[in-house]
Amino acid sequence: MATLETQAVDAIIDNTRRKMLTVGGAALAGLAMASYTSKASAQSTASQTDVDILNFALNLEYLEANYYNLAVYGTTIDKLTSAQGGPISIIGGQAAGSGGTVTTKTSFAPVPFTNGSLALAYATETALEEGKHVTFLQSALGSAAVAMPNLDLYNSFNTLALAAGIGAAFDPFASADNFFVGAFIFEDTGVSAYHGAAGLITDKVNVLAPAVGIHAVEAYHAALVRTSIAAADAANGNLTLTGYTTAIANLRLALSVPGQSATLTVGDTTPYDVGLGVTTVSLEGSTGQYTAATLVDADSSSLSIAQGRNYNQILAIVTAANSGGSTGYSSGLFYPKGLNGNLK
């Protein structure tokens, strides 16, 4: 049964779907993609159609929806039961054909969440919402919606773990703690995409408001993931998972903006990425020093602004490609045979 929180988020998504299907494709494109506008990484949109941009977003939603539903139910989105929020089409708007496959470890099993735990509740709610994002984009695109590409949720994590210095292998489905670390990769990336999209929206009345609502849903997901990681480290009595997030954030930054290794200066003009951390603070009226968590992926300036990313930077993260150029990402990491559509 849906919780009050789930019902509220569902209302936002459903209301957004109704509003967005009545407006132009340019506005839909704005919601789907980031438009990070730093001088060093500004992207040209001259050759991109609305369909191209929305299909790029659909590729990403296929990935997230499968990750969460595999974690909770142990099955891909096309095999979900009606009680689980599915099944969800993986052939997009095609009249015939088939979608891609999802690579998982041999003898795959869902995450062994503790029954009735908050971790399971968080994962279940997010799985439902990410599935709705897939169906929303498919509805918006109609017959132009691309099919799901081949996805890799096994070798991809091992490759990232090795590159980040975490270890030779990492299984995000082995435990609730690992699951949240795996989700950390996706959620911050999604939030940065929606933030970057705001500047592309031309209809400030009918589109911008629901866009901010969807962005809020994605930010809630990221906040739950980050808070859950901090809580797990506190329960475990160490900062192991916190260290993983810093390593992942550093890798995402290196992939999306080659040569950029420091957190940004004031304003939203230099890319950055921030993992979890701890700091010491003094409470008002006290000289004592207390440990506080730093959870938010925002800049270290007084503005405390979250960043936006363009589609090339997103591609660089999900395919482990270098974003120095504007083309040539083709395939890799989570997309072993590339994305479907024209932006890839």
**Residue 263, SS3 per DSSP:** coil
CA distance 57 to 344: 11
Strands 289-294 and 277-282: antiparallel
Helix (H) or strand (E) holding 281: strand 277-282
- Residue 278 pairs in a beta bridge with 293
Residue with tokens 């260290």: 243
Neighbours of 198 (CB within 10 A): 16
Classify residue 81 by burial, with Cβ atoms within 10 Å: 0-12, 13-18, 19+.
Answer: exposed
pLDDT values of the chain reduced to their tens digit, one per residue, 344 residues? 444 444 444 443 444 344 333 333 333 233 233 332 232 233 434 445 667 767 877 888 899 999 999 999 999 999 999 999 989 999 998 877 789 999 999 999 999 999 999 999 999 999 999 998 888 878 877 898 999 999 999 999 999 999 999 999 999 999 999 999 999 998 888 777 766 656 664 545 643 565 567 777 878 888 899 999 999 998 998 889 999 998 998 888 888 776 654 443 434 445 567 777 776 766 766 666 777 667 776 665 555 677 777 777 778 888 886 544 444 456 788 999 888 988 77
For the chain, the 3-state helix, strand and coil shares in percent, each to the nearest 5, are: 50, 5, 45
Q: Which residues contact 169 (CB under 8 A, 6 or more apart)?
A: 157, 158, 161, 162
- pTM for this model (two decimals): 0.79
Peptide bond into 112 cis (omega under 30): no
Q: Which residues contact 231 (CB under 8 A, 6 or more apart)?
A: none
148 to each of 126, 171, 262, how far by Cα in Å?
Answer: 19, 23, 36
Peptide bond into 87 cis (omega under 30): yes
Q: Are the C-beta atoms of 106 and 63 separated by less than 8 Å?
A: no
Nearest Cα to Cα of residue 244 among 214, 277, 284: 277
Residue type, 48: Q
Predicted local distance difference test score (pLDDT) of residue 4:
42
